[in-house]
Amino acid sequence: MTAVQRWLLVVVGVWLMTWQMLASAQELPDFTELVEEASPAVVNISTRQTVTRRSSAMGPMVPDLEGLPPIFREFFERSFPDESQSAPQRQAQSLGSGFIISKDGYVLTNNHVVSGADEIFVRLSDRRELEASLVGADPRSDLALLKIDAGADLPVVRMGKSADLKTGEWVLAIGSPFGFEYSVTAGIVSAKGRSLPNESYVPFIQTDVAINPGNSGGPLFNLKGEVIGINSQIFTRSGGFMGLSFAIPVDVAMDVVEQLKSDGAVRRGWLGVVIQEVNKDLAESFGLERPAGALVAQIMPEGPGAKGGLQVGDVILKLDDQDIIMSSDLPHAVGRLRPGSKATMQIMRGGKRQQLTLEIGALPDDNALAAASGSSSPQAPSVSDNRLGLAVVELTEEQKKALDVSAGVAVREVRPGPGAMIGLRPGDVITNLNNRAIESAADFEKIAGALPVNRSISMRVIRQGRASYITFRLSE
């Protein structure tokens, strides 16, 4: 190879590398126009709350002066002044973000940004600061709707559809992290439909967009400049960004907005059931081809599910046209339905698929399950000692009523064996074994004696008022 040929190869190689770098650069999005268009509708939100500061965590350290001689009373009065007459107060402040959704001054933000505030202030992009009124708030979705009076031609954001969002899509956030107003951060959608603890009715959008305190309530945009989410929470061990950010889908948010405008409150659908995830062993036990659906572990008496014909042990596979893949899909789907509406449900019961039509109820304010049985041991004399290593006794009528069950047995003693290995404890109540209801202690002994080996077996257990299904296998 001549020197000229080598030189040409070097030139061609450099050109190819340059072309590849330019091509890669062209694939990265340019956010400048989006930011210029959307920023004017983003606002900074601050609140003020008057809090009385306590003088001491142990209470006022003033001795009882009654009965003391005047000289000692005068000394203590000088040393311990009466703070009750002039208890100091401080102004507690919070800081967050929001965005204008209508030209007449409606502003959307997070509920936790304005919760408990005596005064709410909205600072616009033109530096005006206006006091806002709270139209309504929904703690369950962590959304609040504000109203400001700033004329009739305010800049507004454009709304998108979070249902059209795809994992891996570019998104951008604008907000005020740590008070740094109009900070812009970008990333991608990491996942959709995430459930977070105590947030069963919001299918969160997970992103890797840098979100920090102060971003709360700010908008999340797609590349079209449309709002597709409201930044709400972060997962952090340090108090700052760690690559896990969660936004409320705009489809959920706008439904909340319409209800807050019209009714001042939000009503959600409710089934009145306790569900759990279907794992591989449970799927095998219930005759499913693969782990999917929401297993009904408990049904509230007189609730919509009970009235509609749902039974403990049903696996809900579909609600209207939506497949229920994870158990968390069900609260999201039910919560979007209007109370009083009809819903069609596909279930697996007894190894066969069935269809139910039921009426959706309204989610009550207090959805806590009532406490079930006490810790006292059952006193009924009927005892069963079986191959599971369990000594069980039948439930009294009072216990059945407290647990809202028609039958079942309580574990009196756990001996070495399969029962101990799967974590059963004295006081647990067993209502179903191998997909069969337990009518009595003798019935439990009969079913336990006929359990199959080397296949998944399900058991419904009630512990401290909460029911769940567990699975195990017998080798002999």
Kindly give, in sequence order, each residue whose CB lies less than 8 Å from that of residue 222, ignoring residues fewer than 6 positions away.
160, 165, 169, 170, 171, 228
- Cα dihedral 416, 421, 451, 306 sign: positive
- Residue 268 CA to residue 266 CA, distance in Å, equals 7
The owner of tokens 């003391």 is 68
Kindly give, in sequence order, each residue whose CB lies less than 8 Å from that of residue 282, ignoring residues fewer than 6 positions away.
291, 295, 456, 458, 469, 471
Kindly give, in sequence order, each residue whose CB lies less than 8 Å from that of residue 336, ignoring residues fewer than 6 positions away.
252, 255, 268, 269
- Residue 249 CA to residue 267 CA, distance in Å, equals 18
- Residue 422 CA to residue 361 CA, distance in Å, equals 36
- Cα dihedral 113, 114, 119, 124 sign: positive
Per the annotation, the verdict on 216 as an active-site residue is yes
The owner of tokens 């006490």 is 374
Whether 279 and 294 have beta carbons less than 8 Å apart is answered as: no
The owner of tokens 């009970």 is 306
Of 132, 141, 127, 211, the C-alpha closest to 174 is 211
Per the annotation, the verdict on 332 as an active-site residue is no
Residue type, 32: T
Whether 209 and 245 have beta carbons less than 8 Å apart is answered as: yes
Instruction: For residue 465, give Cα distances in angstroms to 115, 394, 404.
Output: 32, 17, 10
Torsion over CA of 49, 55, 56 and 61, rounded to 10 degrees? -160
| Catalytic residue (one of 46, 141, 142, 285) | 142
Q: For the residues of 239-299, what is the DSSP string, one character each? A: SS--S-EEEEEHHHHHHHHHHHHHHSS---EE--EEEEE--HHHHHHTT-SSS-SEEEEEE
Of 459, 469, 472, the C-alpha closest to 274 is 469
Residue type, 457: I
Kindly give, in sequence order, each residue whose CB lies less than 8 Å from that of residue 251, ignoring residues fewer than 6 positions away.
161, 162, 163
Per the annotation, the verdict on 142 as an active-site residue is yes
| Catalytic residue (one of 94, 200, 216, 328) | 216
Which residues participate in catalysis according to the annotation?
112, 142, 216
